[in-house]
Amino acid sequence: MSRQQLERRLAASVGEAARSARMSAGLTQADVAERVGIAAEVYGRMERGRMMPSVPTLFRLCLALRLSADVGMGLVTAASVGAALWEEDSKDKDHLPEMRRLLRTLRRMSRGQLKLMNQVASAILPQR
């Protein structure tokens, strides 16, 4: 097998493992890209096996997806290391996709917009 073939195979393996872990976690490509610190388009190319991440990016990807590097590089299957790639606590709303999307939107707002959003949220929440 040539070096180029090996690199393509490795990129495809990383992409498949990342997609599987991302979907199991209920994350979007944008969610993962944000956690890893790369553009969503770059993450999409990695997930499709079109590009191989650098070692530091692969490390951050494995951390963000709670993915074993062995699984990520195709050395073992997820089933052989426990299959629990992501354990989401339903009581912890910080991990919900809706919460992550809302936080991304809020981060783009000005201070005045944030104050207004806080007033809206306070108005729609039940009073204690």
Percent residues over pLDDT 70 in the chain:
83
Band (pLDDT 50/70/90 cuts) for residue 83 is very low
pLDDT attached to residue 128 = 60
pTM (two decimals): 0.58
Band (pLDDT 50/70/90 cuts) for residue 85 is very low
Whole-number average pLDDT of the chain: 81
CA distance 24 to 104: 21
CA distance 83 to 116: 43
Dihedral angle at the C-alpha atoms of 64, 69, 72, 74, nearest 10 degrees?
Answer: -170
When comparing pLDDT for 72 and 66, which is higher?
66
62 Cβ contact partners less than 8 Å away, ≥ 6 residues apart = 68, 69, 72
Nearest to 5 by CA among 69, 49, 70, 43: 49
CA distance 61 to 51: 14
φ, ψ (nearest 5 deg) of residue 91: -80, -20
